Amino acid sequence: MFFRVRATLTDRPGALASLATTCGDAGLNILGLQLFPDLGKVTDELVISTPEGWTARAVAELVGGAGGDEVSVEPCTTHDLIDQPTRWLAAAQDVLGDPSRLAESLDRLLGPHPERWTATEHSRAGALTALAEAGGTDEAPTALGRPRSAGVTYAETPTGLVARLGGHTVGVAGIAPTDGQEVTIEVAPAWRRLGIGTALLQRARTLLAARGMTELVLLAPADDEGFVSMVCGTGLRARIRVTQGVLQARIPLAGLGASDAAGTPTPAR
């Protein structure tokens, strides 16, 4: 029997190895694997071959016992072992030739339940939709070049700001209630260097200015390679220094106009 298994694991060293060991000890063979990282967790999709007599429920119980959360298991075939880039390229060719095949292609690639898709899969679906909308016209290259961060939404939370894609959190900006309004920004590994951190910083700046603050202090570990590019990407003036292993950028907020304040994110509900 073949099963396609999806489970969420804590993002820590050895979590996947522990799951693989548990499967191996039970005689289950992992034939395919996809990883979808998020903040603090990773969604793993496995194609597993089991001995005769195994049921989807038995597989789910095994994976759950090995630390898997939000486990889903469904029977599948060897078709699910086809290389993922190959499947998506074939789907792109299909929708360029016939845009009406978009829904069929997404259902075949991702399943009929968008609420179960990871943030990465929502982004892939958005790119394929853009190709279908181009309909094989001269706009297709533009659709192919559509930013992978398209579709990300931003909202205010009690502790700062959050960036989401398809119900998944791909970035957060934490705002500490201090006089200096200290801000920390974290973006999920698969979503870095796509402008999400810069967008969170810009929105944090607008939000704090609307609250009457005069300065924002952005903090990060000294080894954060994307810190300077994120700050520079906003076009803001900033004084950057390293103090006791912490990167610090002091950004003045004075002088923001009404048009800037109008960009304040919608509060999360």
What's the gap between Cα 62 and its chain centre? 27
Q: Cα 264–267–269 angle (5° rounding)?
A: 160
Q: CB under 8 Å to 36, separation ≥6 — which residues?
A: 42, 43, 44, 45, 118, 119, 120, 121, 190
What is the predicted pLDDT for the residue at 124?
82
Q: How many other C-beta atoms can be found within 10 angstroms of the C-beta atom of residue 168?
A: 21
* Single pTM value for the model: 0.57
Q: DSSP letter for 11, please.
A: S
The amino acid at 218: L
Q: DSSP letter for 20, please.
A: H
Q: Cα 100–147–172 angle (5° rounding)?
A: 120
Tell me which CATH homologous superfamily contains domain 153-267: Gcn5-related N-acetyltransferase (GNAT) (3.40.630.30)
Same fold, 2-80 and 153-267: no
pLDDT above 60 for 175: yes
| pLDDT tens string 12-66 | 888 999 999 999 999 999 998 988 887 778 889 999 999 999 999 999 999 999 9
Q: For the domain 2-80, what is the CATH code?
A: 3.30.70.260
Task: Write b or e for each residue in 59-69: b if 16 or more Cβ atoms lie within 10 A of its Cβ, otherwise e.
Answer: bbebbeebbbe
pLDDT above 80 for 266: no
Q: CB under 8 Å to 37, separation ≥6 — which residues?
A: 11, 43, 188, 189, 190
Q: How far apart are CA 72 and CA 198, in angstroms?
A: 35
> Read out DSSP for 130-165?
HHHHHTTSTTHHHHHT--TTTT-EEEEETTEEEEEE
| pLDDT tens string 135-154 | 644 444 444 444 556 678 99
Q: Where are the domains of the chain?
A: 2-80, 82-144, 153-267
